[in-house]
Amino acid sequence: MGGLHIISEFFSCGNKKILKDRSRLQKEVEEIVNATGLSAVGSLFHQFEGEGGVTGVVVLAESHVSVHTWPERDGFVNIDVFVCNVTQDNTEKAREVSRKLKELLKPGNDESQEVMRK
């Protein structure tokens, strides 16, 4: 059941408009998931009022990708990518999702950790 779990914090994201654009962020995250060959089974993204950000998750047959944005806090974003390796090794797909999210959001600084779950 194990797989790679990537936990990231992005600081000072350069692509600030997308941090408070629910429909665009959802579309981009879903496209990233599809481009890597993972199997999305559903998604839910919520836009907070005012200058608030977006929280969203794409549920995968392999597990999930979640994104939480705080544009009002200097473009801060939490990313969570967990991909199980039940039928095949999806480790590189998880890393590719993480890389593409970083390219999309353009953080000035980021901290990530990889945890191999058993």
* Tens-place pLDDT, residues 30-49: 999 999 999 999 999 999 99
Q: What is the pLDDT of residues 44-101, one digit of tens each?
A: 999 999 889 999 999 999 999 999 999 999 999 999 999 999 889 999 999 999 999 9
Tell me the three-class secondary structure of 60-112, residue by residue: ECCEEEEEEEEHHHCCEEEEEEEEECCCCCCHHHHHHHHHHHHHHHCCCEEEE
CATH class of 3-117: alpha beta
Q: What's the pLDDT at 29?
A: 98
∠ Cα 7 33 115 (to 5°): 25
* Catalytic residue positions, numbered: 63, 68, 84
pLDDT at 1: 66
Looking from the CA of 67 toward its CB, the CA atoms found within 13 Å total 34
* Domain regions of the chain by residue span: 3-117
CA distance 17 to 4: 30
Query: pTM of the prediction?
Result: 0.95
